[in-house]
Amino acid sequence: MTSRWVPLESSPDILNAWSKKAGLAGRSRFEDVYGLSDDLLGMVSQPVKAVILLFPISPESEARRKQEDEEILAKGQPGLDPTILWIKQTISNACGTMGLIHAIANSSVTLSPGSALSKFIEQCEGKTPEERAKLLETTPLFADIHAQAASSGQSAVPTDLDTNLHFTCFVAAPSSRGDDRADSSMRLVELDGRRTGPIDRGESTDLLKDAAKVVQDVYMGGSPSLSFSLIALCEP
């Protein structure tokens, strides 16, 4: 990690403020997901374009991450859409901004022409994940937007920047496999800058429900922590 930012709070107000300053336009907005039951998921505005999860890092989650990454490196993920924009995280505590960029850049949402996001996404085309990370490091506007959002939360800005909380993101992307799947087949893809690349979480027919199941089974299953937060990018 080359530098360290102040962590973002997991709050729709914070994520919406960041997004509007960065260039998210139209009616798109972030909303809280209050629970994983069908009734609570049904309260979220539709359609859902992306889901952002804040979760606690633990020895168990780190062991799972290492095992999954080793399997992905060994077996590959041939069904993933090659046009997915994924960035390697090289800035400590930047996972909030990383999650926001991953969510917005890989969703069919409207961006303001000439905005920080539209320019950044355009500049990322054709670059490696590491080159995109370097581009993020050298784009002061994102550091400024992140700092403004981090300082506008309800909690005091911490003096100790070490944190065991991390953001990841889920989007839906078309399958790239040339098999017998229908052309409309979609995959649930997890985007986390700490990983080896995008993670195929299986077929997706309902982004919010599919992401909630992964959160329940992979992240929350067996965890005693209550430090989870789920926020959806919606375009009502």
The size of the chain, in residues, is 236
4-36 burial code (b ≥16 CB/10 A, e <16): ebbbbbbbbebbbbbbebbbbeeebbbbbbeeb
Catalytic entry in 124, 166, 169, 234: 166
| 196-236 per-position pLDDT tens digit | 999 999 999 999 999 999 999 999 986 777 789 999 999 98
The range of the structural domain enclosing residue 203 comes to 3-234
| 111-120 per-position pLDDT tens digit | 999 999 999 9
Burial classification of residue 56, based on how many CB atoms lie within 10 Å of its CB (0-12 exposed, 13-18 middle, 19 or more buried) = middle
- 95 catalytic per annotation: yes
Domain with residue 209: its CATH number is: 3.40.532.10
Bridge partners of residue 188, in order along the sequence: 172
Catalytic entry in 95, 124, 169, 234: 95
Task: Tell me, rounded to whole angstroms, the distance of Cα 9 from its chain centroid.
Answer: 14
- 146 catalytic per annotation: no
Number of independent structural domains in the chain = 1
CA-closest candidate to residue 225, choices 55, 88, 60? 55
Q: Please state whether beta strands 29-33 and 91-92 pair in parallel, antiparallel, or not at all (unpaired).
A: unpaired
The pLDDT of residue 73 is: 93
